[in-house]
Structure 1
Amino acid sequence: MKARIVIFPLKGRNWCFSRSINASNSQYSSSSSQIPTTLKELWRKIGPSSSSHKVTESNVEVVVDFVANKMNKAWTGLEKAPAGSFKSKLHGLGVLLLSRVKPSEIFLKSIPKDLSSVDITYPSSLNGRLVRRRLQLIAFRGSVIHQKYFYGAAALVPLTAAFAVLPLPNIPFFWVLFRTYSHWRALKGSEKLYQLVSDHSIQFEEQKTDTESSKESRKADQGHWVLQPSEELKELLQRKDEDDGLSEKTIEDICSRFHLNTSDVLKFKNTM
């Protein structure tokens, strides 16, 4: 599976990292059809009758996908609730909480576990080597940060579950459960991204002569990522206001051209 990542500066050293959303709707639908929808189906995949009795990462992924599917259906129900109802107010509270999620987390969550290569699109005015290094940095930092927060959120799940005895919706439990899932997905996305964009070709570039083995190694490593400098993106960035960085109109044009989620990109601008 291949994905395109678009990278461009918003203001100064503050950059946007976003995945194009035009390519993989069919791939997501095919993978989502394999997610168990009932506890019985879940047990068939991870229970004693499965090929391995041990708790493997694949089994954890199945459980995470199952929980995420249930949360998405519950969220859709809240979203369709009549205006002014209690469910509608819960949805408004959820939107407020989600607005506080960092854009880098949203980006890392968008990296699927079965990704095999990435096309890195960036303005041609930037150095491609610098772009890839910054992508490596955000992936590495994400793996460290989200691992820490995942364990912290997971530790709070049984504590917040105790609020179920109250005659009210257990909002703390569902929020902590969502944050656990979110950090898990961001952790796995950052690990996969770092694996793809990291290689050992730099040490070969520093040598004056390459051996045949080093050339083959470099070719194999770079098969996971492709740098794609864009003149069009460079021209769009030239509209920026020197004081406030890119305007919202320019960001919308970039998102339309490169098929990015506008609200996610605007989050990068709003967190400056």
Structure 2
Amino acid sequence: MRARLLVFPIKGRRNWCFIRSIDRSTTQSQSSQTPTTFKHLWNNISSSSHKSTAANLELCVDFAAYKMNKAWSALEKAPPGSFKNKIHGLGLSLLSRVKPSEIFLKSIPKQLTAVEVVFPSSLNARLVRRRLRHIALRGTVVHKNYFYGSVTLLPVTSAFAVLPLPNVPFFWILFRTYSHWRALKGSEKLLQLVSDSSKNQKSSEMHHENEVAENSSEDPPLVMHASEELERLVGGGDDVSKCRLTDICKVFDLNTADVLKYQQQQQK
């Protein structure tokens, strides 16, 4: 499984954007394999005796994520002014505080075997790779700490279940536990792919988009692609405007809301 990552400065030369291009085919195939009912989940676990405990745990996590997404969709469709609609508004306010770097790391699945890193041609490939390695290494530390902290809060927030109201604190902490766990696993996978390797460096830094390795049976784990088009879209100014960011999202198939989060974060 291969993914395309975009890295480019968004404000000056110090604040950068890290984001993965949308892979619609992979998203659809993963959603089709996710168990949607308790019966489906139990059948997958009981019929797969050859699977490890970690694989079964992954199925349970995917099932829980599916249920959370389904419940969130129900709140989103609630009539304006209703109690469920107000809970949805509160959820949106909380989600707006999630850092874009966490969203980026969550988008790196464990099945990933190779990444193509696209960056403006004016940047040095080694600098880009070091930046990626830094954000991955930092993610392994930060999200591990937050994951354990969220787990310890779950029993505390579950006590609010005695109240005759939806247990918003519990579900929020449950979501944050899942989110930090995904970001941790994404950090570990990204760190593995972009870590220093003389073999990877020689085979990837001079790689171009139209080159095909005919004598190789598999892609190198890291491919660095200096893009003239991205350089043109980013421009030579210190700040990338919202209009330019929208154009970048269209050309490289990015989630516009996630990219704009980087810009909003720098303005705070």
TM-score category (smaller protein): 0.7 to 0.9
Match of 2:193 among 175, 193, 196: 196
Q: CA deviation at 1:220?
A: 11
Distance, in Å, in 2 between the alignment partners of 1:163 and 1:222 is: 51
Deviations 1:74-125 (A, max 9, x none): 0000111111111111111000000000000000111122111111000000
Please report the TM-score for the alignment, with normalisation by the length of structure 2. Answer: 0.88
**Aligned: 1:31 with 2:30:** yes
> Does the C-alpha gap of structure 1 residues 53 and 230 become closer, same or farther in structure 2, counting only changes over 3 Å?
closer
Q: What amino acid is the match of 1:250?
A: R
User: Would you identify which runs of 4 or more consecutive aligned residues in structure 1 move more than 4 Å?
Assistant: 202-205, 219-222
**Aligned: 1:14 with 2:8:** no
Does the 8 Å contact 1:132/1:197 carry over to 2? yes
Indicate the SS of the match to 1:260.
Answer: coil
Aligned residues: 252
Q: Percent of counterpart pairs with the same letter?
A: 62
Equivalent residue number for residue 122 of structure 1: 119
Does the 8 Å contact 1:6/1:120 carry over to 2? yes
Q: How does 1:1-272 map to 2 (within 5 A)?
A: 1-12=1-12, 13-21=14-22, 24-46=23-45, 50-51=48-49, 56-201=53-198, 223-238=220-235, 240=237, 242=238, 245-272=239-266
Gaps of 5+ in 2: 203-215
Does the 8 Å contact 2:151/2:177 carry over to 1? yes
Indicate the SS of the match to 1:271.
Answer: helix
Does the 8 Å contact 2:200/2:221 carry over to 1? no
Deviations 1:198-255 (A, max 9, x none): 14218998xxxxxxxxxxxxx9998101111011111122253x4xx11111111111
Indicate the SS of the match to 2:28.
Answer: helix
- CA-based RMSD of the aligned residues comes to 2.2
Indicate the SS of the match to 1:33.
Answer: helix
Q: CA deviation at 1:60?
A: 1.7
Distance, in Å, in 2 between the alignment partners of 1:116 and 1:50 is: 24
Q: CA deviation at 1:43?
A: 2.6
Gaps of 5+ in 1: 206-218
Distance, in Å, in 1 between the alignment partners of 2:244 and 2:134 is: 26
Equivalent residue number for residue 214 of structure 1: none
Between 1:193-202 and 1:98-107, the stretch displaced more is 193-202
Deviations 1:142-189 (A, max 9, x none): 111111111111111122111111100000010000000100111111
Does the 8 Å contact 1:199/1:222 carry over to 2? no
Between 1:37-46 and 1:11-20, the stretch displaced more is 37-46
Indicate the SS of the match to 1:234.
Answer: helix
Q: What amino acid is the match of 1:168?
A: L
Q: What amino acid is the match of 1:257?
A: V
Does the 8 Å contact 1:42/1:63 carry over to 2? yes
Does the 8 Å contact 2:112/2:189 carry over to 1? yes
Distance, in Å, in 2 between the alignment partners of 1:256 and 1:188 is: 28
Distance, in Å, in 2 between the alignment partners of 1:15 and 1:110 is: 17
Between 1:151-160 and 1:72-81, the stretch displaced more is 151-160
